[in-house]
Amino acid sequence: MNRNIIVLDTTLRDGEQVPGAKLNVRQKVEFAQQLKRLNVDIIEAGFPASSAGDFQAVQEIVRTVGDAVSVTALARAVKSDIDAVYESIKLANDPFIHIVLGTSNIHVEKKFSRSKEAVMQMGVDAVKYARALLPHVQYSTEDASRSEFEYLWQTIEAVVKAGATMINVPDTVGYAVPEEFGELIRKINDRLKNLNPDVILSVHCHNDLGLATANTISAIKNGADKVECTINGLGERAGNTSLEEVVMALKVRENYFGCSTNVKTTEILRTSKLLTHLTGLDVQVNKAITGENAFAHSSGIHQDGLLKDKQVYEIMSPEEIGAESMELILTARSGRHAFKNAVEKMGFEAGDPEDFERLFAKFLELADAKKEVYDHDVFYLVTQHRKLE
Ligand code: KIV
Ligand code: ZN
Protein backbone atom coordinates (compact mmCIF):
# COMPACT_ATOMS: atom_id res chain seq x y z
CA MET A 1 0.00 0.00 0.00
CA ASN A 2 1.23 3.51 -0.81
CA ARG A 3 2.56 5.67 2.01
CA ASN A 4 0.93 9.12 1.97
CA ILE A 5 3.44 11.96 2.30
CA ILE A 6 2.11 15.11 3.96
CA VAL A 7 2.94 18.27 1.98
CA LEU A 8 3.40 21.58 3.78
CA ASP A 9 3.74 24.64 1.56
CA THR A 10 5.86 27.41 3.09
CA THR A 11 5.87 29.79 0.10
CA LEU A 12 4.06 32.39 2.21
CA ARG A 13 6.55 32.11 5.08
CA ASP A 14 10.02 30.95 4.01
CA GLY A 15 9.46 31.81 0.34
CA GLU A 16 7.99 35.24 0.73
CA GLN A 17 10.78 36.56 2.96
CA VAL A 18 13.29 36.73 0.09
CA PRO A 19 14.18 40.09 -1.44
CA GLY A 20 11.74 41.12 -4.12
CA ALA A 21 9.07 38.59 -3.15
CA LYS A 22 7.12 40.61 -0.58
CA LEU A 23 3.38 40.22 -1.01
CA ASN A 24 0.64 42.29 0.52
CA VAL A 25 -2.24 40.81 2.51
CA ARG A 26 -4.63 40.53 -0.43
CA GLN A 27 -2.01 38.94 -2.65
CA LYS A 28 -1.25 36.39 0.08
CA VAL A 29 -4.91 35.53 0.41
CA GLU A 30 -5.25 35.07 -3.37
CA PHE A 31 -2.25 32.78 -3.34
CA ALA A 32 -3.53 30.81 -0.34
CA GLN A 33 -6.79 30.20 -2.23
CA GLN A 34 -4.77 28.72 -5.08
CA LEU A 35 -2.81 26.56 -2.60
CA LYS A 36 -6.16 25.25 -1.42
CA ARG A 37 -7.05 24.30 -5.02
CA LEU A 38 -3.65 22.66 -5.33
CA ASN A 39 -4.76 20.63 -2.31
CA VAL A 40 -1.64 20.95 -0.17
CA ASP A 41 -2.17 19.45 3.28
CA ILE A 42 -0.77 22.38 5.26
CA ILE A 43 -0.12 26.06 4.55
CA GLU A 44 2.54 27.79 6.59
CA ALA A 45 1.01 31.24 6.38
CA GLY A 46 3.69 33.45 7.89
CA PHE A 47 5.65 34.58 10.91
CA PRO A 48 3.04 36.62 12.85
CA ALA A 49 5.39 38.04 15.48
CA SER A 50 7.52 39.66 12.78
CA SER A 51 5.07 42.47 11.93
CA ALA A 52 1.47 43.60 12.27
CA GLY A 53 1.06 43.03 8.52
CA ASP A 54 2.22 39.43 8.77
CA PHE A 55 -0.09 38.83 11.72
CA GLN A 56 -3.03 40.21 9.76
CA ALA A 57 -2.15 38.17 6.67
CA VAL A 58 -2.08 34.94 8.68
CA GLN A 59 -5.46 35.78 10.21
CA GLU A 60 -6.96 36.56 6.79
CA ILE A 61 -5.61 33.32 5.33
CA VAL A 62 -7.16 31.39 8.21
CA ARG A 63 -10.45 33.18 7.66
CA THR A 64 -10.42 32.42 3.92
CA VAL A 65 -9.10 28.86 3.67
CA GLY A 66 -8.66 27.68 7.27
CA ASP A 67 -11.82 25.57 7.16
CA ALA A 68 -10.39 23.39 4.38
CA VAL A 69 -6.61 23.38 4.87
CA SER A 70 -4.52 22.95 7.99
CA VAL A 71 -2.73 26.23 8.77
CA THR A 72 0.41 26.85 10.78
CA ALA A 73 2.74 29.80 11.41
CA LEU A 74 6.24 30.19 12.77
CA ALA A 75 7.36 31.16 16.28
CA ARG A 76 10.76 31.41 17.91
CA ALA A 77 10.96 29.63 21.26
CA VAL A 78 9.60 32.61 23.14
CA LYS A 79 6.16 33.14 24.66
CA SER A 80 5.34 36.34 22.77
CA ASP A 81 5.96 34.63 19.38
CA ILE A 82 3.91 31.61 20.40
CA ASP A 83 1.06 33.85 21.57
CA ALA A 84 1.12 35.69 18.23
CA VAL A 85 0.91 32.41 16.32
CA TYR A 86 -1.89 31.13 18.51
CA GLU A 87 -3.93 34.33 18.22
CA SER A 88 -3.56 34.40 14.43
CA ILE A 89 -4.35 30.73 13.67
CA LYS A 90 -6.68 29.65 16.46
CA LEU A 91 -9.86 29.84 14.33
CA ALA A 92 -8.57 27.39 11.71
CA ASN A 93 -10.03 23.89 11.72
CA ASP A 94 -6.74 22.13 12.21
CA PRO A 95 -4.14 24.66 13.36
CA PHE A 96 -0.71 23.96 14.84
CA ILE A 97 2.12 26.03 16.23
CA HIS A 98 5.56 25.74 14.62
CA ILE A 99 8.50 26.45 16.96
CA VAL A 100 12.06 26.81 15.70
CA LEU A 101 15.29 26.68 17.71
CA GLY A 102 18.84 25.89 16.61
CA THR A 103 20.72 22.73 17.58
CA SER A 104 24.11 23.18 15.89
CA ASN A 105 27.08 24.37 17.93
CA ILE A 106 27.32 27.49 15.83
CA HIS A 107 23.70 28.41 16.55
CA VAL A 108 23.92 27.59 20.26
CA GLU A 109 27.19 29.48 20.76
CA LYS A 110 26.90 32.39 18.36
CA LYS A 111 23.15 33.06 18.23
CA PHE A 112 22.19 32.36 21.82
CA SER A 113 25.50 32.55 23.76
CA ARG A 114 24.07 30.04 26.22
CA SER A 115 24.95 26.50 27.24
CA LYS A 116 23.53 23.62 25.23
CA GLU A 117 21.45 22.55 28.24
CA ALA A 118 19.97 26.04 28.59
CA VAL A 119 19.04 26.17 24.89
CA MET A 120 17.42 22.75 25.08
CA GLN A 121 15.45 23.88 28.13
CA MET A 122 14.21 26.92 26.18
CA GLY A 123 12.85 24.50 23.57
CA VAL A 124 11.19 22.28 26.18
CA ASP A 125 9.56 25.26 27.92
CA ALA A 126 8.32 26.63 24.59
CA VAL A 127 6.76 23.31 23.60
CA LYS A 128 5.02 22.96 26.97
CA TYR A 129 3.68 26.50 26.65
CA ALA A 130 2.43 25.89 23.10
CA ARG A 131 0.87 22.52 23.95
CA ALA A 132 -1.22 24.21 26.63
CA LEU A 133 -2.73 26.26 23.79
CA LEU A 134 -3.15 23.68 20.99
CA PRO A 135 -2.99 19.89 20.66
CA HIS A 136 -0.43 19.96 17.82
CA VAL A 137 3.00 21.53 17.95
CA GLN A 138 5.83 21.18 15.45
CA TYR A 139 9.40 21.62 16.63
CA SER A 140 12.15 22.48 14.13
CA THR A 141 15.74 21.73 15.08
CA GLU A 142 17.23 24.54 13.02
CA ASP A 143 20.54 23.70 11.29
CA ALA A 144 20.00 20.03 12.13
CA SER A 145 22.29 18.82 9.34
CA ARG A 146 25.28 20.62 10.93
CA SER A 147 24.42 19.55 14.49
CA GLU A 148 26.18 16.93 16.61
CA PHE A 149 23.93 13.92 16.38
CA GLU A 150 23.76 13.11 20.10
CA TYR A 151 22.75 16.67 21.04
CA LEU A 152 20.26 16.76 18.19
CA TRP A 153 18.72 13.52 19.39
CA GLN A 154 18.67 14.62 23.04
CA THR A 155 16.80 17.75 21.96
CA ILE A 156 14.29 15.76 19.91
CA GLU A 157 13.75 13.34 22.80
CA ALA A 158 13.25 16.18 25.28
CA VAL A 159 10.78 18.15 23.13
CA VAL A 160 8.79 15.02 22.24
CA LYS A 161 8.51 14.21 25.94
CA ALA A 162 7.38 17.82 26.48
CA GLY A 163 4.56 17.31 23.94
CA ALA A 164 5.84 18.06 20.40
CA THR A 165 3.74 16.08 17.92
CA MET A 166 5.86 16.79 14.83
CA ILE A 167 9.63 16.95 14.52
CA ASN A 168 10.95 18.90 11.56
CA VAL A 169 14.58 18.36 10.55
CA PRO A 170 15.87 21.32 8.53
CA ASP A 171 18.91 21.49 6.32
CA THR A 172 18.86 25.22 6.97
CA VAL A 173 21.88 26.21 4.92
CA GLY A 174 21.62 23.56 2.20
CA TYR A 175 24.76 21.80 3.43
CA ALA A 176 23.63 18.17 3.39
CA VAL A 177 24.09 15.66 0.58
CA PRO A 178 21.45 13.05 -0.19
CA GLU A 179 23.00 9.84 1.20
CA GLU A 180 24.13 11.56 4.37
CA PHE A 181 20.78 13.34 4.91
CA GLY A 182 18.90 10.10 4.28
CA GLU A 183 21.09 8.36 6.85
CA LEU A 184 20.41 11.13 9.39
CA ILE A 185 16.66 10.75 8.88
CA ARG A 186 16.87 6.96 9.13
CA LYS A 187 18.68 7.21 12.48
CA ILE A 188 16.19 9.74 13.86
CA ASN A 189 13.25 7.73 12.53
CA ASP A 190 14.49 4.48 14.15
CA ARG A 191 14.80 6.15 17.54
CA LEU A 192 11.59 8.15 17.19
CA LYS A 193 9.57 5.02 16.43
CA ASN A 194 10.72 3.58 19.78
CA LEU A 195 10.16 6.81 21.66
CA ASN A 196 6.71 7.68 20.29
CA PRO A 197 5.51 6.18 16.99
CA ASP A 198 2.74 8.78 16.65
CA VAL A 199 5.16 11.67 16.18
CA ILE A 200 5.36 12.84 12.57
CA LEU A 201 8.86 13.17 11.13
CA SER A 202 9.26 16.05 8.69
CA VAL A 203 12.07 17.57 6.60
CA HIS A 204 12.78 21.07 5.35
CA CYS A 205 15.65 21.56 2.89
CA HIS A 206 17.39 24.48 1.26
CA ASN A 207 18.96 24.50 -2.16
CA ASP A 208 22.39 26.12 -1.73
CA LEU A 209 24.11 23.19 -3.46
CA GLY A 210 21.19 22.45 -5.76
CA LEU A 211 20.39 19.35 -3.69
CA ALA A 212 17.18 20.29 -1.89
CA THR A 213 14.91 18.02 -3.93
CA ALA A 214 17.39 15.12 -3.82
CA ASN A 215 17.81 15.50 -0.05
CA THR A 216 14.05 15.63 0.48
CA ILE A 217 13.49 12.53 -1.64
CA SER A 218 16.28 10.71 0.19
CA ALA A 219 14.63 11.64 3.51
CA ILE A 220 11.29 10.27 2.31
CA LYS A 221 13.00 7.03 1.31
CA ASN A 222 14.42 6.84 4.83
CA GLY A 223 11.20 7.38 6.72
CA ALA A 224 10.17 11.07 6.61
CA ASP A 225 6.36 11.36 6.59
CA LYS A 226 6.10 15.05 5.80
CA VAL A 227 7.95 17.49 3.51
CA GLU A 228 8.16 21.27 3.57
CA CYS A 229 8.44 22.94 0.18
CA THR A 230 7.73 26.08 -1.78
CA ILE A 231 6.29 26.73 -5.21
CA ASN A 232 9.02 27.34 -7.81
CA GLY A 233 11.53 26.57 -5.01
CA LEU A 234 11.19 30.19 -3.87
CA GLY A 235 13.09 30.87 -0.66
CA GLU A 236 16.14 32.22 1.16
CA ARG A 237 19.30 32.43 -0.98
CA ALA A 238 19.12 29.60 -3.56
CA GLY A 239 15.66 28.71 -2.30
CA ASN A 240 13.77 25.87 -0.67
CA THR A 241 12.80 22.43 -1.92
CA SER A 242 10.55 22.87 -4.91
CA LEU A 243 7.10 21.43 -4.21
CA GLU A 244 6.41 20.57 -7.84
CA GLU A 245 9.67 18.62 -8.19
CA VAL A 246 9.08 16.44 -5.13
CA VAL A 247 5.42 15.82 -5.91
CA MET A 248 6.10 14.89 -9.54
CA ALA A 249 9.11 12.73 -8.64
CA LEU A 250 6.90 10.73 -6.27
CA LYS A 251 4.17 10.52 -8.89
CA VAL A 252 6.31 9.63 -11.90
CA ARG A 253 8.37 7.11 -9.89
CA GLU A 254 5.50 5.83 -7.76
CA ASN A 255 6.48 2.21 -8.34
CA TYR A 256 9.96 2.93 -7.04
CA PHE A 257 9.04 5.03 -3.98
CA GLY A 258 5.69 3.50 -3.06
CA CYS A 259 4.58 6.96 -1.89
CA SER A 260 1.98 9.46 -3.03
CA THR A 261 0.69 12.89 -2.02
CA ASN A 262 -2.72 14.56 -1.99
CA VAL A 263 -1.53 17.35 -4.30
CA LYS A 264 -3.72 17.90 -7.36
CA THR A 265 -0.93 18.00 -9.92
CA THR A 266 -3.08 19.57 -12.65
CA GLU A 267 -3.03 22.78 -10.54
CA ILE A 268 0.79 22.96 -10.46
CA LEU A 269 1.43 25.17 -13.46
CA ARG A 270 -1.35 27.59 -12.57
CA THR A 271 0.06 27.94 -9.05
CA SER A 272 3.56 28.49 -10.38
CA LYS A 273 2.38 31.14 -12.84
CA LEU A 274 0.29 32.93 -10.24
CA LEU A 275 3.32 33.17 -7.96
CA THR A 276 5.46 34.48 -10.82
CA HIS A 277 2.88 37.13 -11.62
CA LEU A 278 2.38 38.16 -7.99
CA THR A 279 6.08 38.39 -7.10
CA GLY A 280 7.48 39.36 -10.49
CA LEU A 281 10.16 36.70 -9.99
CA ASP A 282 10.59 34.58 -13.10
CA VAL A 283 11.18 30.84 -13.17
CA GLN A 284 14.37 29.81 -14.98
CA VAL A 285 13.42 28.52 -18.43
CA ASN A 286 14.94 25.07 -17.93
CA LYS A 287 13.59 24.59 -14.38
CA ALA A 288 12.26 21.07 -13.89
CA ILE A 289 8.46 20.75 -14.16
CA THR A 290 7.50 24.45 -14.37
CA GLY A 291 10.20 26.04 -16.59
CA GLU A 292 9.09 27.28 -19.99
CA ASN A 293 11.23 24.64 -21.71
CA ALA A 294 10.40 21.76 -19.36
CA PHE A 295 8.25 20.11 -22.04
CA ALA A 296 9.77 21.66 -25.15
CA HIS A 297 11.61 19.38 -27.58
CA SER A 298 13.84 21.00 -30.14
CA SER A 299 16.20 18.42 -31.60
CA GLY A 300 15.07 16.75 -34.81
CA ILE A 301 15.78 13.26 -33.46
CA HIS A 302 13.64 13.93 -30.39
CA GLN A 303 10.80 15.46 -32.37
CA ASP A 304 10.81 12.51 -34.72
CA GLY A 305 10.70 10.07 -31.77
CA LEU A 306 7.88 12.00 -30.10
CA LEU A 307 5.80 11.96 -33.24
CA LYS A 308 6.06 8.16 -33.24
CA ASP A 309 5.18 7.83 -29.56
CA LYS A 310 5.29 10.56 -26.87
CA GLN A 311 6.75 8.15 -24.35
CA VAL A 312 9.94 7.90 -26.39
CA TYR A 313 11.11 11.19 -24.85
CA GLU A 314 8.46 12.12 -22.28
CA ILE A 315 8.35 10.72 -18.74
CA MET A 316 5.25 12.74 -17.85
CA SER A 317 2.75 14.65 -19.91
CA PRO A 318 2.36 18.44 -19.75
CA GLU A 319 -1.35 17.84 -19.07
CA GLU A 320 -0.44 16.21 -15.74
CA ILE A 321 0.73 19.58 -14.43
CA GLY A 322 -2.16 21.43 -16.02
CA ALA A 323 -0.30 22.73 -19.06
CA GLU A 324 -2.97 22.14 -21.66
CA SER A 325 -3.77 25.34 -23.58
CA MET A 326 -2.63 27.52 -20.68
CA GLU A 327 -2.64 30.72 -22.71
CA LEU A 328 -5.81 31.79 -24.44
CA ILE A 329 -5.53 35.02 -26.39
CA LEU A 330 -8.70 37.03 -25.77
CA THR A 331 -10.34 39.72 -27.87
CA ALA A 332 -13.34 42.01 -27.34
CA ARG A 333 -15.47 39.26 -28.89
CA SER A 334 -14.36 36.54 -26.50
CA GLY A 335 -17.33 37.02 -24.17
CA ARG A 336 -17.87 36.67 -20.43
CA HIS A 337 -17.36 32.94 -20.30
CA ALA A 338 -13.94 33.00 -21.95
CA PHE A 339 -12.84 35.96 -19.83
CA LYS A 340 -14.01 34.28 -16.60
CA ASN A 341 -12.16 31.16 -17.66
CA ALA A 342 -8.99 33.20 -18.24
CA VAL A 343 -9.26 34.85 -14.79
CA GLU A 344 -9.70 31.47 -13.11
CA LYS A 345 -6.94 29.90 -15.15
CA MET A 346 -4.55 32.41 -13.64
CA GLY A 347 -5.47 31.16 -10.19
CA PHE A 348 -7.78 34.07 -9.26
CA GLU A 349 -11.34 33.86 -7.98
CA ALA A 350 -13.88 35.22 -10.51
CA GLY A 351 -15.57 37.17 -7.69
CA ASP A 352 -19.27 37.80 -7.10
CA PRO A 353 -21.42 38.56 -10.22
CA GLU A 354 -21.52 42.33 -9.69
CA ASP A 355 -17.79 42.59 -9.16
CA PHE A 356 -17.19 40.35 -12.16
CA GLU A 357 -19.33 42.63 -14.35
CA ARG A 358 -17.19 45.62 -13.37
CA LEU A 359 -14.06 43.64 -14.16
CA PHE A 360 -15.52 42.51 -17.48
CA ALA A 361 -16.29 46.13 -18.44
CA LYS A 362 -12.63 46.99 -17.85
CA PHE A 363 -11.61 44.00 -19.93
CA LEU A 364 -13.75 45.21 -22.84
CA GLU A 365 -12.17 48.68 -22.65
CA LEU A 366 -8.72 47.13 -22.77
CA ALA A 367 -9.62 44.67 -25.52
CA ASP A 368 -10.98 47.52 -27.67
CA ALA A 369 -7.78 49.47 -27.20
CA LYS A 370 -5.33 46.60 -27.51
CA LYS A 371 -7.16 44.14 -29.77
CA GLU A 372 -5.42 41.09 -28.24
CA VAL A 373 -5.43 40.45 -24.52
CA TYR A 374 -2.77 38.11 -23.12
CA ASP A 375 -2.29 36.42 -19.73
CA HIS A 376 -0.18 39.28 -18.42
CA ASP A 377 -2.94 41.75 -19.39
CA VAL A 378 -5.55 39.71 -17.52
CA PHE A 379 -3.24 39.61 -14.54
CA TYR A 380 -2.83 43.40 -14.70
CA LEU A 381 -6.60 43.93 -14.93
CA VAL A 382 -7.37 41.73 -11.92
CA THR A 383 -4.60 43.12 -9.73
CA GLN A 384 -5.53 46.73 -10.55
CA HIS A 385 -9.23 46.08 -10.09
CA ARG A 386 -8.77 44.35 -6.75
CA LYS A 387 -5.98 46.68 -5.68
CA LEU A 388 -3.69 43.74 -5.14
CA GLU A 389 -0.65 45.82 -5.93
O1 KIV B 1 15.45 26.78 7.15
C2 KIV B 1 15.01 26.61 8.30
O3 KIV B 1 15.66 26.07 9.19
C4 KIV B 1 13.67 27.11 8.58
C5 KIV B 1 13.02 26.66 9.83
C6 KIV B 1 12.15 27.69 10.43
C7 KIV B 1 12.27 25.38 9.59
O8 KIV B 1 13.08 27.78 7.75
ZN1 ZN C 1 13.94 27.43 5.76
What does the pLDDT read at residue 325? 54
Which ligand has its closest atom nearest to the C-alpha of 235?
2
- The length of the chain is 389
Q: What is the mean pLDDT of residues 60-89?
A: 98
Q: Is the pLDDT of residue 336 over 80?
A: yes
The dihedrals phi and psi of 272, each to the nearest 5 degrees, come to -60, -45
Task: Please report the pLDDT score of residue 131 as a whole number.
Answer: 98
Interior angle at CA 301, CA 300 and CA 304, nearest 5: 80
Task: Using alpha carbons, list the distances in angstroms from residue 257 to 139, 225, 248, 384.
Answer: 26, 13, 12, 45
Average pLDDT over residues 367-385: 90
Torsion of Cα atoms, 155 then 161 then 166 then 169, to 10° = 10
Q: Are 176 and 205 in contact (CB under 8 A)?
A: yes
Q: Which atom of ligand 1 is nearest to the CA of 100?
A: 6
Q: What share of the chain is helix, strand, coil (3-state, %, to 5)?
A: 50, 15, 35
Q: How far is the CA of 207 from the centre of ligand 2 (A)?
A: 10
Looking at ligand 1, which residue's alpha carbon is closest to its atom 4?
A: 172
Binding residues for Mn(2+): 14, 204, 206, 240
Per-residue pLDDT of 19-66, as tens digits, reads 888 999 999 999 999 999 999 999 999 999 999 999 999 999 999 999
Q: ipTM for the complex? A: 0.99
**Probe target for ligand 1 pocket from 12, 14, 169, with the most ligand atoms within 8 Å of CB:** 14
Tens digits of per-residue pLDDT, 254-305? 999 999 999 999 999 999 999 999 999 999 999 999 998 888 766 666 666 6
Enumerate residues lining ligand 1, CB below 6 A.
14, 74, 100, 140, 142, 168, 170, 172, 204, 206
